[in-house]
Structure 1
Amino acid sequence: MIKFFLMVNKQGQTRLSKYYEHVDINKRTLLETEVIKSCLSRSNEQCSFIEYKDFKLIYRQYAALFIVVGVNDTENEMAIYEFIHNFVEVLDEYFSRVEHHLPPFFFVLNVQRKFSSNELRKCRNDP
């Protein structure tokens, strides 16, 4: 099960976050800081799957953007790894003509609006 989804730039700033379990705002900040540090400190030659506390982190880098997904121990890492790529392809297709004309703020708001747990379930083929 997916616990959270983060989009982070190379400077370590969270650009988008979506949590699928309640996490207190103070704990979110600490969690994001530790998760981002764990992913950004790794080299390209290292595995994109990280064991972190009681869950796994799966991440991919696209230019200056890192996408990190936190999942429980039973989730298939390769399925999530491919899900990230499919998600990026959908965003690229959907926003390719629009993103150059909109301010970044509106782009992020639009992504957040489109990004819901129902869409995640559809991508994962859950009932």
Structure 2
Amino acid sequence: MIKFILIVNKQGQTRLSKYYEHMELHKRTLLEMEVIKSCLSRLKEQCSFLEYKDFKLVYRQYAALFIVAGIDDAENEMAVYELIHNFVEVLDKYFSRVSELDIMFNLDKVHIILDEMVLNGSPVETNKTRILAPLLVLDRMVES
């Protein structure tokens, strides 16, 4: 199961956080700070999977952004690694070359995309067309 997904920039600022297990706000803040520090301090040559407390971290870097997923032992690291890449491809398709500013100013749309892909911590959809369908319908409704 995926416990959380974070999008963080190189300065350590959280741009998106999505938790699939209840956690108090104070604990979330501490967790994010430690996770960000762990991922940002790693070299590019190092593996993108690391053990952290009672779960594993899977992360990928895209330009100035890190996307980090916290998973339990039952989840496949490579599958989550590819899910992160698929998530970025969907964002790229929707925003035409997604940037940190796209994520910051369209956080609601990024959450919709993530909610289409992951439900209660389990990946449910990887087809880009199906993931974007509800968002495109919403965009058409706003335009009319």
In the superposition, the TM-score normalised over structure 2's length comes to 0.77
Q: For this pair of structures, how many residues does the alignment match?
A: 121
Greater fraction of residues in helix: 2
Report the 3-state secondary structure (helix = DSSP H, G, I; strand = E; otherwise coil) of the residue aligned with 2:23. Answer: coil
Displacement of 1:123 in angstroms is 2.7
- Distance (whole Å) between structure 2 residues aligned to residue 54 and residue 103 of structure 1: 33
Give every structure 1 segment of 4 or more consecutive aligned residues whose post-TM-superposition deviation is greater than 6 Å.
none
Task: Label 1:106 to 1:38 Cα distance change in 2 as closer, same or farther (>3 A).
Answer: same
Match of 2:21 in 1: 21
Write the letter of the residue equivalent to 1:9: N
Report the 3-state secondary structure (helix = DSSP H, G, I; strand = E; otherwise coil) of the residue aligned with 2:21. Answer: coil
Report the 3-state secondary structure (helix = DSSP H, G, I; strand = E; otherwise coil) of the residue aligned with 1:123. Answer: coil
Report if the CA contact (8 A) 1:2-1:72 is conserved: yes
Write the letter of the residue equivalent to 1:93: K
Write the letter of the residue equivalent to 1:113: I
Match of 1:43 in 2: 43
Task: Label 1:95 to 1:55 Cα distance change in 2 as closer, same or farther (>3 A).
Answer: same
Displacement of 1:92 in angstroms is 0.3
Task: Label 1:38 to 1:104 Cα distance change in 2 as closer, same or farther (>3 A).
Answer: closer
Match runs of 1:96-115 below 5 Å: 96=96, 105-115=104-114
Report if the CA contact (8 A) 1:5-1:18 is conserved: yes
CA RMSD of aligned residues (A): 2.0
Q: Which runs of 5+ in 2 are unaligned?
A: 127-144
Write the letter of the residue equivalent to 2:117: E
Report if the CA contact (8 A) 1:57-1:68 is conserved: yes
In the superposition, the TM-score normalised over structure 1's length comes to 0.87
Write the letter of the residue equivalent to 2:7: M
Match of 2:117 in 1: 119
Displacement of 1:34 in angstroms is 0.2
The C-alpha deviation readout for 1:52-95, integer Å capped at 9, x for no partner, is 00000000000000000000012111111111001100110011
Write the letter of the residue equivalent to 1:108: L
For the pair shown, which has the larger CA radius of gyration, 1 or 2? Answer: 2
- The share of aligned pairs that are identical, in percent, is 68
- Distance (whole Å) between structure 1 residues aligned to residue 95 and residue 40 of structure 2: 26
